[in-house]
Amino acid sequence: MSTPRLMDIGLERLVNMLNDMAALSKSAVEMAVESFKEGVAMQEEVFQISEKLRWLQDEVADLAVELIARYQPVATDLRFLRSSMEVAYGFSRFGRYAYDITQIITTFGSLKECEKKEVVEVSEIVKIMIETSIKSFVERNKALAEELEKLDTVVDRAYKSHLLNSMSNQNSKKCDMATMLMLRYLERIADHATYIGDSVIYIVEGFRRPRK
Protein backbone atom coordinates (compact mmCIF):
# COMPACT_ATOMS: atom_id res chain seq x y z
CA MET A 1 0.00 0.00 0.00
CA SER A 2 1.40 3.38 -1.03
CA THR A 3 1.93 6.07 1.57
CA PRO A 4 -0.39 9.06 1.06
CA ARG A 5 1.26 12.31 0.04
CA LEU A 6 1.49 14.93 2.77
CA MET A 7 -0.25 17.23 0.30
CA ASP A 8 -3.19 14.79 0.12
CA ILE A 9 -3.51 14.80 3.92
CA GLY A 10 -3.63 18.59 3.87
CA LEU A 11 -6.19 18.60 1.05
CA GLU A 12 -8.41 16.15 2.94
CA ARG A 13 -8.30 18.39 6.00
CA LEU A 14 -9.20 21.36 3.81
CA VAL A 15 -12.17 19.53 2.28
CA ASN A 16 -13.44 18.57 5.73
CA MET A 17 -13.30 22.20 6.85
CA LEU A 18 -15.18 23.32 3.75
CA ASN A 19 -17.80 20.63 4.30
CA ASP A 20 -18.29 21.96 7.83
CA MET A 21 -18.68 25.46 6.43
CA ALA A 22 -21.20 24.25 3.86
CA ALA A 23 -23.42 22.68 6.52
CA LEU A 24 -23.20 25.72 8.80
CA SER A 25 -23.92 28.23 6.05
CA LYS A 26 -26.95 26.29 4.84
CA SER A 27 -28.26 26.10 8.40
CA ALA A 28 -27.76 29.85 8.92
CA VAL A 29 -29.72 30.78 5.81
CA GLU A 30 -32.55 28.36 6.61
CA MET A 31 -32.83 29.78 10.14
CA ALA A 32 -32.82 33.35 8.83
CA VAL A 33 -35.55 32.68 6.26
CA GLU A 34 -37.66 30.99 8.93
CA SER A 35 -37.08 33.99 11.19
CA PHE A 36 -38.50 36.31 8.55
CA LYS A 37 -41.43 34.08 7.63
CA GLU A 38 -42.52 33.36 11.20
CA GLY A 39 -41.50 36.65 12.80
CA VAL A 40 -39.29 34.87 15.34
CA ALA A 41 -36.10 36.54 16.57
CA MET A 42 -33.06 34.37 15.77
CA GLN A 43 -30.48 37.10 15.57
CA GLU A 44 -28.14 35.77 18.26
CA GLU A 45 -28.20 32.17 17.03
CA VAL A 46 -27.45 33.15 13.43
CA PHE A 47 -24.79 35.63 14.56
CA GLN A 48 -22.90 32.85 16.35
CA ILE A 49 -22.97 30.70 13.21
CA SER A 50 -21.85 33.67 11.12
CA GLU A 51 -18.90 34.28 13.43
CA LYS A 52 -17.91 30.61 13.31
CA LEU A 53 -18.03 30.73 9.51
CA ARG A 54 -15.80 33.81 9.52
CA TRP A 55 -13.32 32.01 11.76
CA LEU A 56 -13.36 28.92 9.55
CA GLN A 57 -12.81 31.08 6.47
CA ASP A 58 -9.59 32.36 8.02
CA GLU A 59 -8.57 28.80 8.89
CA VAL A 60 -9.16 27.64 5.31
CA ALA A 61 -7.13 30.54 3.92
CA ASP A 62 -4.26 29.90 6.35
CA LEU A 63 -4.14 26.20 5.52
CA ALA A 64 -4.37 26.78 1.76
CA VAL A 65 -1.52 29.32 1.85
CA GLU A 66 0.56 26.95 4.01
CA LEU A 67 0.06 24.08 1.54
CA ILE A 68 0.98 26.30 -1.40
CA ALA A 69 4.13 27.59 0.33
CA ARG A 70 5.24 24.21 1.64
CA TYR A 71 4.56 21.94 -1.34
CA GLN A 72 4.46 24.33 -4.30
CA PRO A 73 1.58 22.48 -5.99
CA VAL A 74 0.86 22.79 -9.69
CA ALA A 75 -2.10 22.26 -12.02
CA THR A 76 -5.20 20.72 -10.39
CA ASP A 77 -3.96 20.94 -6.79
CA LEU A 78 -3.09 24.62 -7.16
CA ARG A 79 -6.44 25.43 -8.77
CA PHE A 80 -8.24 23.61 -5.98
CA LEU A 81 -6.33 25.47 -3.27
CA ARG A 82 -6.98 28.86 -4.84
CA SER A 83 -10.64 28.03 -5.34
CA SER A 84 -10.98 26.73 -1.78
CA MET A 85 -10.29 30.22 -0.46
CA GLU A 86 -12.97 31.65 -2.79
CA VAL A 87 -15.48 28.97 -1.81
CA ALA A 88 -14.80 29.56 1.90
CA TYR A 89 -15.43 33.26 1.35
CA GLY A 90 -18.74 32.40 -0.34
CA PHE A 91 -19.85 30.23 2.58
CA SER A 92 -18.86 32.98 5.00
CA ARG A 93 -20.97 35.49 3.05
CA PHE A 94 -23.96 33.13 3.27
CA GLY A 95 -23.65 33.43 7.03
CA ARG A 96 -23.24 37.20 6.99
CA TYR A 97 -26.30 37.78 4.80
CA ALA A 98 -28.28 35.34 6.92
CA TYR A 99 -27.43 37.49 9.93
CA ASP A 100 -28.48 40.61 8.01
CA ILE A 101 -31.84 38.95 7.30
CA THR A 102 -32.45 38.33 11.00
CA GLN A 103 -31.95 42.05 11.64
CA ILE A 104 -34.97 42.86 9.47
CA ILE A 105 -37.27 41.64 12.26
CA THR A 106 -35.24 43.62 14.80
CA THR A 107 -35.52 46.78 12.69
CA PHE A 108 -39.13 46.60 11.48
CA GLY A 109 -40.79 44.61 14.27
CA SER A 110 -43.75 42.36 13.51
CA LEU A 111 -44.40 41.69 9.81
CA LYS A 112 -47.43 39.46 10.30
CA GLU A 113 -49.59 41.72 8.12
CA CYS A 114 -47.13 41.51 5.19
CA GLU A 115 -47.61 39.25 2.19
CA LYS A 116 -44.71 36.79 2.11
CA LYS A 117 -45.52 34.67 -0.95
CA GLU A 118 -42.85 36.35 -3.08
CA VAL A 119 -40.19 35.94 -0.41
CA VAL A 120 -41.09 32.29 0.16
CA GLU A 121 -40.83 31.50 -3.55
CA VAL A 122 -37.46 33.22 -3.95
CA SER A 123 -36.10 31.71 -0.74
CA GLU A 124 -36.90 28.22 -2.05
CA ILE A 125 -34.89 28.93 -5.20
CA VAL A 126 -32.00 30.27 -3.12
CA LYS A 127 -32.06 27.16 -0.92
CA ILE A 128 -31.78 25.03 -4.05
CA MET A 129 -28.87 27.20 -5.19
CA ILE A 130 -27.07 26.76 -1.87
CA GLU A 131 -27.52 22.99 -2.00
CA THR A 132 -26.46 22.90 -5.66
CA SER A 133 -23.36 25.02 -5.04
CA ILE A 134 -22.33 22.74 -2.18
CA LYS A 135 -22.95 19.57 -4.15
CA SER A 136 -21.18 20.89 -7.25
CA PHE A 137 -18.11 21.70 -5.15
CA VAL A 138 -18.05 18.38 -3.27
CA GLU A 139 -18.50 16.36 -6.47
CA ARG A 140 -16.52 18.75 -8.76
CA ASN A 141 -19.66 18.65 -10.90
CA LYS A 142 -19.49 21.18 -13.73
CA ALA A 143 -23.04 20.52 -14.93
CA LEU A 144 -24.48 21.41 -11.52
CA ALA A 145 -22.29 24.50 -11.34
CA GLU A 146 -23.62 25.69 -14.70
CA GLU A 147 -27.22 25.42 -13.46
CA LEU A 148 -26.54 28.09 -10.84
CA GLU A 149 -26.30 30.95 -13.31
CA LYS A 150 -29.77 30.14 -14.68
CA LEU A 151 -31.29 30.14 -11.19
CA ASP A 152 -29.43 33.33 -10.33
CA THR A 153 -31.19 35.05 -13.23
CA VAL A 154 -34.59 34.09 -11.76
CA VAL A 155 -33.66 35.55 -8.35
CA ASP A 156 -32.30 38.77 -9.93
CA ARG A 157 -35.53 39.17 -11.91
CA ALA A 158 -37.68 38.76 -8.79
CA TYR A 159 -35.70 41.37 -6.87
CA LYS A 160 -35.79 43.92 -9.70
CA SER A 161 -39.50 43.30 -10.27
CA HIS A 162 -40.31 43.99 -6.62
CA LEU A 163 -38.13 47.10 -6.65
CA LEU A 164 -40.05 48.52 -9.62
CA ASN A 165 -43.45 47.60 -8.19
CA SER A 166 -42.69 49.14 -4.81
CA MET A 167 -42.13 52.54 -6.42
CA SER A 168 -45.80 52.77 -7.38
CA ASN A 169 -47.31 50.72 -4.57
CA GLN A 170 -49.37 52.76 -2.12
CA ASN A 171 -49.77 49.93 0.39
CA SER A 172 -47.68 49.45 3.53
CA LYS A 173 -44.24 50.95 2.98
CA LYS A 174 -43.04 48.98 5.97
CA CYS A 175 -43.90 45.72 4.20
CA ASP A 176 -42.42 46.96 0.93
CA MET A 177 -39.13 47.95 2.52
CA ALA A 178 -38.82 44.78 4.59
CA THR A 179 -39.57 42.58 1.58
CA MET A 180 -37.17 44.54 -0.61
CA LEU A 181 -34.37 44.10 1.94
CA MET A 182 -35.14 40.40 2.26
CA LEU A 183 -35.07 39.91 -1.52
CA ARG A 184 -31.85 41.92 -1.75
CA TYR A 185 -30.09 39.71 0.78
CA LEU A 186 -31.40 36.59 -0.94
CA GLU A 187 -30.16 37.98 -4.25
CA ARG A 188 -26.68 38.46 -2.78
CA ILE A 189 -26.68 34.91 -1.40
CA ALA A 190 -27.65 33.67 -4.86
CA ASP A 191 -24.75 35.64 -6.37
CA HIS A 192 -22.26 33.99 -4.01
CA ALA A 193 -23.70 30.55 -4.76
CA THR A 194 -23.08 31.32 -8.44
CA TYR A 195 -19.51 32.41 -7.68
CA ILE A 196 -18.92 29.06 -5.98
CA GLY A 197 -20.15 27.41 -9.19
CA ASP A 198 -17.65 29.53 -11.14
CA SER A 199 -14.87 28.24 -8.87
CA VAL A 200 -15.95 24.64 -9.51
CA ILE A 201 -15.80 25.22 -13.27
CA TYR A 202 -12.33 26.71 -12.84
CA ILE A 203 -11.17 23.65 -10.87
CA VAL A 204 -12.47 21.29 -13.56
CA GLU A 205 -11.60 23.23 -16.72
CA GLY A 206 -8.53 25.18 -15.63
CA PHE A 207 -9.69 28.59 -16.82
CA ARG A 208 -12.17 31.27 -15.83
CA ARG A 209 -15.28 31.70 -17.91
CA PRO A 210 -16.40 35.29 -18.51
CA ARG A 211 -19.58 36.23 -16.62
CA LYS A 212 -22.53 37.20 -18.77
Residue 165: partners with Cβ closer than 8 Å, 6 or more residues away: none
Q: What is the pLDDT of residue 31?
A: 94
CB 126 within 8 A of CB 177: no
Arch. (CATH architecture) of 6-205: Up-down Bundle (1.20)
Alpha-carbon gap, residue 210 to 12, rounded angstroms: 30
**Phi, psi (rounded to 5 degrees) for 205:** -95, -25
Question: Which ranges in the chain belong to alpha helices (H)?
Answer: 6-38, 43-71, 75-108, 117-139, 142-168, 173-205
Q: What is the pLDDT of residue 4?
A: 53
Task: Please give the chain's pLDDT, 212 residues, in tens.
Answer: 444 577 888 889 999 999 999 999 999 999 999 999 888 889 999 999 999 999 999 999 999 999 999 988 888 888 899 999 999 999 999 999 999 999 998 888 888 888 888 888 999 999 999 999 988 988 889 999 999 989 999 999 888 888 777 766 655 688 888 888 999 999 999 999 999 999 999 988 877 666 65
